[in-house]
Amino acid sequence: MNNLKTPVYVIDEKKLRENCEILKSVQDRSGARILLAQKAFSAYSTYPLIAEYLLGTTASGLYEAKLAYEEFHRKNEASNKPEVHVFEPAFHDEEMIELCEIADHIVFNSLNQLEHHRHTWEKAVSKGQLSVGLRVNPEFSTQDGHEIYDPCAPGSRLGIRLCDMPDRLPEGVEGIHFHTLCEQGFEPLKETFEFFEKKFERFLPDKNDHENKSALKWINLGGGHHITKPDYDREGLIKLIKYIKDTYAVEVYLEPGEAIALDAGYLITTVMDIVKTDRLPVLILDTSAACHMPDVLEMPYRPPLKDSGELNEKAYNYRLSSRTCLAGDVIGDYSFAKEIKIGDRLTFEDMAIYSMVKNNTFNGMPLPDIAIRRVDGKCEVVKTFGYNDFKMRL
């Protein structure tokens, strides 16, 4: 990694495989179908690797759906076509036409959207190519203080509330989707499902109807499950999925994003200058929170940095910042055992998720290259960027 030009995102294949193995074992033991939520991680050169473990992907719209359709091939399968699922609060008519050609599941966010596109999706459903679902809002918040990531927060536009649902599932609807979690353990999912089960009972198949003659064929529990964290209660999750499948005879889908590439990437940067201030000395890096790790500012959070400590934990304290014009483009305050020099390289950790998919060229900042560290330790640069990537968007 020491020879890579910075800034560079490095995807760690070993860790990615370890995460995928955990998810596959949950999939195999519970009977759930687990999808990669591409919004978190869409470095598609790794899709063939992920496809060795997972059945498909979910998309936030047409472009991610196309990317999965083109790149997420499942070797050694009778059909190597991935499962392509998509949810978006609203679709343009021409997007719906294209999506109906490639998607297996389309989830609508409102009855308006369902009916508006009915004449298009019904054709694909009648050919047996597509299944359609509705996203509901269980109105059960499990997150403290992160309203920006809480689809159950008051005033949320995401998912249909029970009070806006009809008496029975509209004609042609076979699935219910909810997504309410963000970076959470099993307990909040369990509580949410119990609440959903009571509240949306009239849409669920009769508990004694073991062959499920009702319209509902699948339930999608969304993303936000930190399944690959060491302390995640995976046995609890497996039990819950089995309960849902046994009780209602439906397929159960999970669509985690973060869990797939958690801790599976780095962002390597070079110290370009050190500026004295009336407070901490500031390291000017060739990366930027605003451009290359926007969640640091949006969430906000302090990214883990290799060989560093909290402020005052080690001998030398610095504020880590960037070469953009934005005064608040600050990554965080860190301490180091040795004095930092211009030209030193620093490695931010857990940088595979919500980084490459969100980056931008504000200030004309170069985009970091993308490399993969293979299991044998060798690094391969899979993508480089230059001036044209900035110019072509403007």
Residue type, 269: T
**Whether the Cβ atoms of residue 57 and residue 84 lie closer than 8 Å to each other:** yes
Interface with ligand PLP, residue 258, by CB under 6 A: yes
Maximum distance among all Cα pairs of the chain, rounded to whole angstroms: 71
Give me the 85-114 binding string for ligand PLP, x by CB under 6 A, dash otherwise: --x---------------------------
What token pair was written down for 162? 């029970």
Interface with ligand PLP, residue 134, by CB under 6 A: no
In angstroms, rounded to a whole number, what is the distance separating the alpha carbons of residues 187 and 181? 11
**Whether the Cβ atoms of residue 343 and residue 320 lie closer than 8 Å to each other:** no
Among 51, 55, 176, 182, binds ligand PLP (CB under 6 A): 182
Q: Considering CB under 6 A, how many residues would be counted as binding ligand PLP?
A: 15
Strand partners, 268: 8, 347
Give me the 142-181 binding string for ligand PLP, x by CB under 6 A, dash otherwise: -------------------------------------x--
Residues between 21 and 50 that touch ligand PLP (CB under 6 A): 37, 39-40
> Which of residues 39 and 234 has its CB atom nearest to ligand PLP in the complex?
39
Give me the 211-230 binding string for ligand PLP, x by CB under 6 A, dash otherwise: -----------xxx------
Closest approach of ligand PLP to the CB of residue 121, in Å: 18
Closest approach of ligand PLP to the CB of residue 256, in Å: 4
Interface with ligand PLP, residue 257, by CB under 6 A: yes
* Cβ-defined contacts of 301-305 (< 8 Å, 24+): 302/331, 302/332, 303/331, 303/332, 303/348, 303/349, 303/350, 303/351, 304/348, 304/349, 304/350, 305/332, 305/334, 305/346, 305/347, 305/348, 305/349
Interface with ligand PLP, residue 188, by CB under 6 A: no
> Which of residues 26 and 259 has its CB atom nearest to ligand PLP in the complex?
259
What token pair was written down for 17? 């495989």
Closest approach of ligand PLP to the CB of residue 185, in Å: 13
Closest approach of ligand PLP to the CB of residue 342, in Å: 36
> Which of residues 133 and 366 has its CB atom nearest to ligand PLP in the complex?
133
Closest approach of ligand PLP to the CB of residue 143, in Å: 11
> Which of residues 252 and 283 has its CB atom nearest to ligand PLP in the complex?
252
Interface with ligand PLP, residue 283, by CB under 6 A: no
Closest approach of ligand PLP to the CB of residue 54, in Å: 13
> Which of residues 40 and 268 has its CB atom nearest to ligand PLP in the complex?
40
Binding interface with ligand PLP (CB under 6 A):
37, 39-40, 58, 87, 179, 182, 222-224, 255-259
